[in-house]
Structure 1
Amino acid sequence: MSAPVAEETAELDPLKSRPKGSSTEISGKSPLRIAFGRLMRDKIAVVCIGVVALFVLLAIFGPLISKAFGVTTDTQYPTQFLELNMIPKAEFGPPYGGFTMDHPFGIAPRTAIDNLAYWLEGARNSLQIASLATLTATVLGIVIGLLAGFMGGLVDRVLTFVTDLFLTLPFLLVALTIAPIVNERFRDNTDFYPTAQVISLVCVLSFFGWMGLARLIRGEVLSLREREFIHAARVMGMPTRRILVKELLPNIVAPIVVSTSLMLPAFVAAEAGLAYLGVGITSRPSWGQMLDQGTSFFSNYPLYLYEPLIAIVALVLALNLLGDAIRDALDPKTRR
């Protein structure tokens, strides 16, 4: 009877089954390390990380890649390279010709600008604007959500009213209203006009992206502020700023990361959509502008439309799937 009991005890307590003098140590893992390990075991998440990293590298090193191929967005090719109907000749890319090292993506109709240089510059601008808008919206959502949930009372009612007010404003209508104002105000200032367009677009995107995160954080803080460690911090005389930053913020990292990972692809698609409508970035290359111009030549030159369309779909899909994978990795109840 003693042998089975000893084996069962060894299975339940592995520390007792180790031989004396063994140097094997059992170390714990933080929740973030456990989540990172689960994320790395997800094959779809790993592929999505690779796709996103590829686009980021293309955006960062876009000027070097353009220089390696000897193309720029300012290059204007002579008119003899174009057909009478303003379509690139056959030797400058599909569907009329094969790929060439001089112009791997072909050249654009009407303007005869190299598509590769324009595509790379558009990727940089799209990711830059989406990242800035995501960062701004995340900071706004965190600050407003923390204050509304922790302070309560009049502060909570006012901030909740502001959140509901922004939710009632139609995003597209506000964007269509702000764009002509910015164009009229800064059009004459050619040096500051491109920067003004970027700032206005980042403000529009971020001001319409923080509300969901603020509501999520407010709900989390409402449940956390009644916990024992918050009451203990108040009794000890800890200032409110320290309670918000040191006590509450580390406990809501998971929802912030998930919300941010899902906010970025939405802003990438929104930036391209606004540029397609002509109210986004018009003074710099953009994937949305390529979509707008490519629709006019789709029947004769479909490559011009497919290049930005495939890029947007691949990047947004990878970011969305990566956001879902991060949410599953941070959720201790999931079995994925």
Structure 2
Amino acid sequence: MTSPIASSTEAGAFARPLRTAGAFTRFIRHPLTRIGLPLLILLVIFAVFSHLLSRGPEHNPEHIYPDGLDSLGVPHSPGGGFLLGADTLGRDVWTRLLFGARLSLSIALCAMLTSTVIGTTVGLLAGYFGGWVDRTLTRITEIVASLPTILLAITLTLVLPETWRDVRPFSDLNLDPRLVVAIGLVTWTGISRAVRGQVLSLKEREFVEAARALGQSNTRILVRHILPNVLPTVITLAVLATASNILLEAGLSYLGLGAPEKPSWGSIIAEGQPYFSTAPWITLSAGAAIILAVAAFNLLGNALTESLETRR
């Protein structure tokens, strides 16, 4: 005979996938998803296949084309072999945008994973154990959240050793791990607060009490019963955080804190700004790419939020 406690625990476990499936269906059918998802897929295609979609046989964003500048040194305008024009050195802007998409999106996504792991872990521990654990972690969260994000990210990027750029797999992917770590360490507080608030409520629920009565360990309760219930919120906040990470990475690259030999959207804007009056397409194209990427993640994040609220 199945005990009531076991039945309660199993009911809590099986109800979640059904509710999540309904939320996923609403998310896919949401009007914002129909705009944001194709846009994101397009950006990912550009980033993944940048070496195939770029101009010329070299497929090199740093390649200088002899016809990229006229006799007076003015960059080639969009058209005539240069889809989005050339920059002030004669490099193809379209090619640099494609490779910039790969770098900017990769850093933003890696930083999102970093902040999500940190924020979720801190929120779970603070909310579940309470007491001095909660007080300590909450104070740390408040201190980090009170600091200016961009200034803290700049400081961390400058403090972290430059030799990290040679660490695999970051070196193989041409990513600067300093940016990933810096952005990840300054953007986890929002996820932590949201997770903590949910865990404070969930740990008093019947299915958690049933798991304790069955003698399950705290680790198993957190991983098996509490984490799946906060995961939809974590995913939503992670998607929205990616949009913020793109802006933060662009700001750091604009200030010259990224890999100088690799194009990113922020560095392209910085390179084109002094020549905005004569070659505005350099800055505008990179700015448009940032706007589209941020819009895609924000649209998907808002669609997720509304889908989950409908579920509740």
TM class by shorter chain equals: 0.7 to 0.9
With the length of structure 1 as denominator, give the TM-score of the two structures.
0.80
User: Would the aligned equivalents of 2:37 and 2:296 in 1 still touch at CA under 8 Å?
Assistant: yes
Question: What runs of 5+ residues in structure 1 fail to find an aligned partner?
Answer: 1-28
Q: State which structure, 1 or 2, has the greater radius of gyration over its C-alpha atoms.
A: 1
2:125–2:134 CA contact under 8 A, matched in 1: yes
Output aligned runs, 1:1-336, within 5 Å: 30-66=18-54, 71-78=59-66, 81-83=68-70, 85-88=72-75, 92-94=76-78, 99-100=79-80, 102-109=81-88, 111-182=89-160, 186=162, 195=171, 198-332=176-310
8 A contact 1:272–1:288 mirrored in 2:
yes
Distance 1:34 1:103, change over 3 A: same
Structure 1: distance between partners of 2:264 and 2:68: 24
Which ranges of 4 or more aligned residues in structure 1 deviate by more than 4 Å? 67-70, 189-197
Distance 1:168 1:59, change over 3 A: same
Change beyond 3 A, Cα 1:235–1:87: same
Residues 187-206 of structure 1, C-alpha deviations (whole Å, 9 max, x = no match):
8x996698597111111111
Return the letter of the residue paired with 2:22: I
1:137: how far off? Answer: 0.5
Q: Check 1:190–1:296 CA distance in 2 against 1; reply closer, same or farther (3 A cut).
A: same
SS at 1:135's partner residue?
helix
Which whole-Å deviations, capped at 9, do the CAs of 1:127-166 have from their partners, x for residues lacking one? 0000000001001111111111111111111111111121
Residue 70 of structure 1 deviates from its aligned partner by 5.1
Work out whether residues 72 and 114 of structure 1, in 8 Å CA contact, stay in contact via their aligned partners in 2. Answer: no
Q: The residue matched to 1:247 in structure 2 has which SS?
A: helix
How many Å apart are 1:181 and its aligned residue? 4.1
2:87–2:279 contact (8 Å) kept in structure 1 = no
5+ long unaligned stretches in structure 2? 1-16
Shift of the 144–314 alpha-carbon distance from structure 1 to 2, 3 Å rule, reads same
Q: Which has the higher contact order (CA 8 A, sep 6+)?
A: 2
Q: Are residues 219 and 54 of structure 1, via their aligned partners in 2, closer, same or farther at CA, if it must alter by over 3 Å?
A: same
Q: CA 1:198–1:234 in structure 2 vs 1: closer, same or farther (change >3 Å)?
A: same
Tell me the alpha carbon deviations over residues 209-265 of structure 1, each in whole angstroms, 9 at most, x when there is no partner.
Answer: 111111111110011111111111111110111100001011112211211111010
**TM-score, length-normalised on structure 2?**
0.86
Question: CA RMSD, aligned part only?
Answer: 2.5
Indicate the percent of aligned positions where both proteins have the same amino acid. 35
